[in-house]
A = this chain, B = another copy of it.
């Protein structure tokens, strides 16, 4: 029987209820699998246990795909069982797999072997931030991480702001959580007063904070407490 590669989202936050962020049928898919390609084995096992995986977790096989396993030989070894007919699930550390994480390499290799890929529904902080930002969702770009050091960071912010204005394309950024305040301050320093900034923090958790206003307005208030909390930044124009 032909195998399928399922892309299995997980909650973004440890504090969010499964029923708030995952459709019930995801559990059926998960229970049908015993082979998982995961960003972190400990987190993946904890996730399976939390959703009530119906098999013995110790009978399932886990392989890690992360920044330490990026060579194509490793990926080929992970995909070999799928080619041989064993369905697999990709589970990332938090949120949806293969967006802003290393899952993409497995998906690409599966495509080249004509393996069916099935993405499941789940929480994406990027998409939910765009929805809730009030900024254009007709055109938006996710840019990942910006350079950390000045002057490169400032140049990158200004380049994204100018694209946000000239193409009316909302520009989404993330940062390592312990550098969130620094990125927010850099955005406030480098962007024009009338540019809008949305800050979306701890999305889908009880502590969720989402606010969009102009740079001029942000400059007049104290920044929210986003340090060390997963945060999405979006700049754009109305």
* Interface residues, chain A, with chain B CB atoms under 8 Å away: 7, 17, 19-25, 96-101, 103-104, 107-112, 116-119, 121-124, 126-144, 169, 203-204, 208, 210-213, 238
Closest residue on chain B to residue A90 by CB atoms: B131
Q: Given A22-B23, A136-B104, A137-B101, are A131 and B119 also a contact pair (CB < 8 Å)? A: yes
Copies of this polypeptide in the complex: 2
Asked if residues A132 and B118 are in contact (CB atoms below 8 Å), the reply is yes
* A132/B104 in contact, CB under 8 A: no
Q: Whole-angstrom distance between the alpha carbons of A19 and B39 in the complex?
A: 26
Which B residue's beta carbon lies closest to that of A96?
Answer: B131
Closest-CB distance, A109 to chain B (whole angstroms): 8
Specify which chain B residues have a CB less than 8 angstroms from the CB of A122 in the assembled complex: 121
Query: Are the C-beta atoms of B20 and A21 separated by less than 8 Å?
Result: no
Q: Which B residues lie within 8 Å of A140 (CB)? A: 99, 141-142
Instruction: Show 5 residue pairs from A and B whose CB-CB distance is below 8 angstroms, ordered by the A residue.
Output: A103-B131, A104-B135, A107-B131, A119-B210, A121-B123
Q: Which chain B residue lies CB-closest to A213? A: B111
Tell me whether B97 and A131 are in contact (CB under 8 A): yes
A172 to B238, CA, bound (A): 22
